A and B are shown apart, each in its own frame.
Chain A
């Protein structure tokens, strides 16, 4: 081993605490960074690749043929900003039922489909892939989208079109995949006319690619240009590819903002701690540096020796961090893998390389500054025996603090930070980041709990009563040999619930699948009946339902449809159509945020076949669920319905995974912050060991020594906590909405307002706890230092 290698190895071995601190700090920063960047890339890559290959439509427009001619619609292809377009294609919403040749799947009515007439699968936009069978070769054929959620039937299966008289037949000839979800099915252009009910206005679809479509604003700008190019109201609906992308990315994307935040916190802490450790090593090793130089080491070799002492533990931490980051990513990426049937997704190798190189680069640069200072030290000056120059800073503070009515050991400790302001600032910053992490993690966990409660609003009430109506709640299975039970009469069930004295409030919900203009696929529409005021979803903007003709939806739906609160949407199904006005944006993540909530009467008046499938019952305080169920089930017996205790919807696996990840990352950051304090106090203790000897020679007891050392960081910790808490709140305010946006929803104010004064005070003390915990070990060492040895130390 070279002389330089030996010096580096000896330095690493001698400073075990600092080596451990640097290893763990880098480990934490690299783990969080690999995880964040890996998730970011892995969750987006499959969609991006497939979308680019298909020249997917940035915007899918649905036009009303009564308000614009096909020529006017075709002319939108030349609107500024549109780089490619396809269409107009005639489109129609259909209800299909599987024919008798579908075996076990026969007689099943499919959710409504948006079917588009296209001559071929290719084209300048939305070049769909045939995944099974073949493309349409003539009339009476249909190709279904592989993303369409219908029964698993093979090509060759025949469907009856239930919307048209005589129920004409379509034969399934294949499955195709449009990454941008432009349609649920395709038929020949001539076929669309035949499938459109008499007297129904023709609908057209246009597919666009824009020059700029990276953001919602850019897609919205393109949409506005198209709207301006056609008669008013002609664009009846539209779908942005960004919404489809959000659905495809799944909840994995929600992890990215907060993991990224932890990664940034970790990297900054790495810089601080590595800088402090190497600076401290240079400061404490002046004499050693002098000896090395007197032996012939060049300034460059000295600098390399000190950089090496930082790079060795940092490299170890980086390798371990890359491994840990990849391991933690496995369960999170499993979700994204499922979304694309893409096999198992892993963190891209270039992410591992980039993060590792970046982290080591940061460590290198951070260590280089004090290392170069070491290289420049004058040999004679460095080798001269004697203690490091005494600090001349903080004398005034020392004097002032000395006058406080405190035990002397405490006032000595309190004044200490002023003697080394730069080091104190570094320690404080490390603790600030720890306090930020704790505050942010607390807020995030509370927010996630609020989100879980919000999600579970759809499953409110201590008791549920399914009626057995199709599409709503559990379906009652017939006993072998008997006919399927009839659904219970909702009115009779409601009367029985109302008659129970312990019933405080109840409501019923009915579900159906309808088409919404501009949204591909069937949309689940939930109709409310009764008093649901106690179980409403958190409102983000606007208000909850008040009367008929109103609906509330999630942000993602608004974005998908390109509308806002106050706009109207058209619901179509079973030959019926109605328009509802969106009065509120609510936090409802069911059906990936694509659910429409409205009054049941709004649906039944429009003629949709939907009835209450499930009642949710809230009980009066003090009511026992078992006793209530017994009484209610007795009353329900004539109706055929049965009440059950509600399990509340359970807990989201994604939220549970987020909670676990937040806890792990926070623990790592807090540990690193504590280690940062430990490192500083170790440096201080070593530098002040002679003073400690004097104190002890004058009669300072071990307990007083511990108190002095702990107090020397307590003030810093307290101040850092006070700074870190508002910073953590700010990070929470920034990251939580970003998490929401990454999955396409805004956040309701109630899940953002999670901090309250008592909690903030306790969080503020977190900085103190981190600082004191970090200083405990070196305080013990200081107390145990032998006085005679300390007095001899120079």
Chain B
């Protein structure tokens, strides 16, 4: 069996006083899997995503992604990790409104210092693959919600990450756009992209996840592999 892309062991996370956001949670996600994390508000979904993204540190336990102990990284190490190992897609897209679509997409590669020619080729490839080439020079404010999320996905994939993290990627979209993004993520996973998906959207989980876990009060209460997609 291959080494897990995500290996979370005995992770707890506490914020000030009160019950822990995550409690002794262990989880392994293998390459090629698309894991959907479901659960009610306050169940620890976003905390889990933040820990995997290196945006936060666990109070106890370890988080290893693509062979790297994310919980032990410095600020600079975390930045490099996010540049090279993961891609993130957010509910509200988090595109930079004063950059064109192309400039948004190329940003992670440019921050990583990749050669310009290589960046251009990769951007063109993604624009084409995600069907947003005609918007290459447009600003995000002029695109529909679905198109913006496609731009966000393209940006997340720019540096060929081992892991794609998606936080409620359809949460801010209308039905048609949501469907569009669901299909896109399913296609990516079908092409071998490992995905960790945090969502309330059961349809999204059903359509593109190969495995679904449910969190309640920071603990996994169910872990189900999808039969078929």
- Residues in A lying within 8 Å of B, measured CB to CB: 390-391, 394-395, 398-399, 402, 405, 407-409, 415, 419, 690-691, 693-704, 783-784, 786-788, 791
Verify B53–A399 contact, CB threshold 8 A: no
B137 to A, closest residue via Cβ: A399
A416 to B, closest residue via Cβ: B98
Verify B98–A696 contact, CB threshold 8 A: no
**Residue B192 lies at the interface, judged by CB distance under 8 Å to chain A:** no
A788 and B88 CA atoms in complex are apart in Å by 12
If A694-B94, A791-B90 are given as contacts, then 13 extra A-B residue pairs at C-beta distance below 8 Å, sorted by A number, are: A391-B98, A407-B113, A695-B107, A695-B111, A697-B55, A697-B88, A698-B88, A699-B84, A699-B112, A701-B76, A701-B83, A702-B76, A788-B50
Verify A699–B111 contact, CB threshold 8 A: yes
Give the residues in chain A near B116, CB-CB below 8 Å: 405
Residue interface bits B136-171, CB-to-A below 8 A is 1, else 0 = 000101000000000000010001000000000000
Of B55, B79, B110, B139, the contact of A701 (CB 8 Å cutoff): B79
A694 and B110 CA atoms in complex are apart in Å by 14
A390 and B93 CA atoms in complex are apart in Å by 15
Classify the secondary structure of B's interface with A: helix
Verify A390–B141 contact, CB threshold 8 A: yes
Give the residues in chain B near A415, CB-CB below 8 Å: 98
A-B contact pairs, 6 of them (CB 8 A): A390-B98, A391-B98, A697-B53, A698-B111, A699-B111, A784-B75
Closest CB of chain A to B27's CB: distance in Å? 19
Give the residues in chain B near A419, CB-CB below 8 Å: 98
Give the residues in chain B near A702, CB-CB below 8 Å: 75-76, 79
Of B76, B82, B97, the contact of A698 (CB 8 Å cutoff): B82
Given contacts A698-B111, A787-B55, A791-B90, contact A704 B79 (CB under 8 A): yes
Residue interface bits B18-56, CB-to-A below 8 A is 1, else 0 = 000000000000000000000000000000001001011
A391 and B99 CA atoms in complex are apart in Å by 11
Closest CB of chain B to A567's CB: distance in Å? 71
**Residue B96 lies at the interface, judged by CB distance under 8 Å to chain A:** yes
Give the residues in chain A near B75, CB-CB below 8 Å: 701-702, 783-784
Within 8 A of A (CB), among B95-146: 95-100, 103, 107-108, 110-113, 116, 139, 141
Verify B94–A697 contact, CB threshold 8 A: yes
Given contacts A390-B141, A701-B80, contact A402 B99 (CB under 8 A): yes
Give the residues in chain B near A703, CB-CB below 8 Å: 76
Verify A408–B107 contact, CB threshold 8 A: yes
Verify B98–A698 contact, CB threshold 8 A: no
A697 and B110 CA atoms in complex are apart in Å by 14
Given contacts A697-B88, A704-B111, contact A399 B100 (CB under 8 A): yes
B113 to A, closest residue via Cβ: A407
A700 to B, closest residue via Cβ: B111
B109 to A, closest residue via Cβ: A408
Verify A698–B108 contact, CB threshold 8 A: yes
A395 to B, closest residue via Cβ: B98
Closest CB of chain B to A582's CB: distance in Å? 69
Verify A399–B103 contact, CB threshold 8 A: yes
Give the residues in chain B near A787, CB-CB below 8 Å: 55
* Interface residues of B, count at CB 8 A: 33
A704 and B97 CA atoms in complex are apart in Å by 20
A399 and B108 CA atoms in complex are apart in Å by 16
A784 and B50 CA atoms in complex are apart in Å by 17
A691 to B, closest residue via Cβ: B96
Verify B55–A788 contact, CB threshold 8 A: yes
Give the residues in chain B near A786, CB-CB below 8 Å: 55-56
Closest CB of chain A to B100's CB: distance in Å? 6
The 4 nearest A-B residue pairs measured at CB: A699-B83, A408-B110, A701-B79, A699-B82
Verify B98–A394 contact, CB threshold 8 A: yes
A389 to B, closest residue via Cβ: B97
Of B50, B79, B98, B155, the contact of A700 (CB 8 Å cutoff): B79
Give the residues in chain B near A395, CB-CB below 8 Å: 98, 139
Closest CB of chain A to B45's CB: distance in Å? 13
A591 and B90 CA atoms in complex are apart in Å by 81
Give the residues in chain B near A691, CB-CB below 8 Å: 96
A419 and B108 CA atoms in complex are apart in Å by 22
Q: Most chain-A Cβ atoms within 10 A of its Cβ — which of B110, B155, B159?
A: B110
Verify A699–B141 contact, CB threshold 8 A: no
Given contacts A399-B100, A701-B76, contact A788 B90 (CB under 8 A): no
Verify B79–A699 contact, CB threshold 8 A: yes
A698 and B81 CA atoms in complex are apart in Å by 10
Give the residues in chain A near B95, CB-CB below 8 Å: 694
Verify B94–A791 contact, CB threshold 8 A: yes
Give the residues in chain B near A407, CB-CB below 8 Å: 110, 113
Given contacts A395-B139, A788-B55, A788-B56, contact A696 B103 (CB under 8 A): no
Give the residues in chain A near B80, CB-CB below 8 Å: 699, 701
B155 to A, closest residue via Cβ: A698
Give the residues in chain B near A695, CB-CB below 8 Å: 107, 111
Give the residues in chain A near B56, CB-CB below 8 Å: 786, 788
Give the residues in chain A near B53, CB-CB below 8 Å: 697
Closest CB of chain A to B40's CB: distance in Å? 19
Give the residues in chain B near A408, CB-CB below 8 Å: 107, 110-111
Closest CB of chain A to B208's CB: distance in Å? 22
Verify B103–A402 contact, CB threshold 8 A: yes
Give the residues in chain B near A783, CB-CB below 8 Å: 75
B99 to A, closest residue via Cβ: A398
B87 to A, closest residue via Cβ: A698
A408 and B103 CA atoms in complex are apart in Å by 10
Verify A696–B97 contact, CB threshold 8 A: no
Give the residues in chain A near B55, CB-CB below 8 Å: 697, 786-788, 791
A694 to B, closest residue via Cβ: B94
Give the residues in chain B near A700, CB-CB below 8 Å: 79, 111
A249 and B81 CA atoms in complex are apart in Å by 71
Give the residues in chain A near B112, CB-CB below 8 Å: 699
B107 to A, closest residue via Cβ: A698
Closest CB of chain A to B48's CB: distance in Å? 12
Closest CB of chain A to B155's CB: distance in Å? 7
Closest CB of chain B to A322's CB: distance in Å? 45
A790 to B, closest residue via Cβ: B55
A44 and B159 CA atoms in complex are apart in Å by 74
A787 and B90 CA atoms in complex are apart in Å by 13
A694 and B107 CA atoms in complex are apart in Å by 11
A398 and B50 CA atoms in complex are apart in Å by 30
A398 and B103 CA atoms in complex are apart in Å by 10
A697 and B93 CA atoms in complex are apart in Å by 12
A699 and B50 CA atoms in complex are apart in Å by 14
A391 and B50 CA atoms in complex are apart in Å by 29
B76 to A, closest residue via Cβ: A701
Closest CB of chain B to A698's CB: distance in Å? 5
Q: Most chain-B Cβ atoms within 10 A of its Cβ — which of A695, A696, A701?
A: A701
Given contacts A697-B88, A704-B79, A787-B55, contact A398 B98 (CB under 8 A): yes
Give the residues in chain B near A698, CB-CB below 8 Å: 82-83, 88, 107-108, 111, 155
Give the residues in chain B near A699, CB-CB below 8 Å: 79-84, 108, 111-112, 159
Given contacts A402-B99, A701-B76, contact A409 B94 (CB under 8 A): no
Give the residues in chain B near A409, CB-CB below 8 Å: 111
